[in-house]
Amino acid sequence: MPSAHDHAFKTIDGQPLPLTTFKDKVVLVVNTASKCGLTPQYDGLEKLYTDYRDQGLVVLGVPCNQFMGQEPGTEQEIQTFCSTTFGIDFPMTSKVDVKEAGAHPFYKWAEKELGEPAVPVWNFHKILIGRNGEALQAFGPRTEPQDPGLVAAIKAAL
């Protein structure tokens, strides 16, 4: 049965990042952007990562420029922005498409698994992946990282 672990990204600095790297971890995959009204969610995502990483949570930031060009920078610019502005310590991928025909295969898989809720409609859309690579739930962009429903879903998966 296909799982998230069948997919791979590249890290923001160009290294291979197979999702099997996160086997036995709970992963919150979030498409991100540096110039969006929701960009302050980076703070909450870093807090989630800090609070729950010892229990097995990984937040995976996936930069995407498909929503009104709000992630125009290079990978280096994105990485610098995230570390200097928000102190981001969680892993980030290289910039990819997350919707439509050119969507990264992970996002096509998530849509097959979870249906329409898994298709990002804006930046900071969240997909929760379980320890065995199963797609658990999708959360819309306006779901804040500390939203009780999101935190409860993460805790249940951990």
Active site residue ranges? 36
Q: CA–CA distance from 33 to each of 41, 121, 141, 148, 154 (Å)?
A: 10, 13, 11, 23, 22
**Amino acid letter at 70?**
Q
Contact 123, 64 (CB under 8 A): yes
Could you give the CA distance from residue 68 to residue 13 in angstroms, rounded to a whole number? Answer: 24
Contact 124, 36 (CB under 8 A): yes
Contact 66, 96 (CB under 8 A): no
User: Which burial class, exposed, middle or buried, applies to 30 when counting CB atoms under 10 A from its CB (0-12, 13-18, 19+)?
Assistant: buried
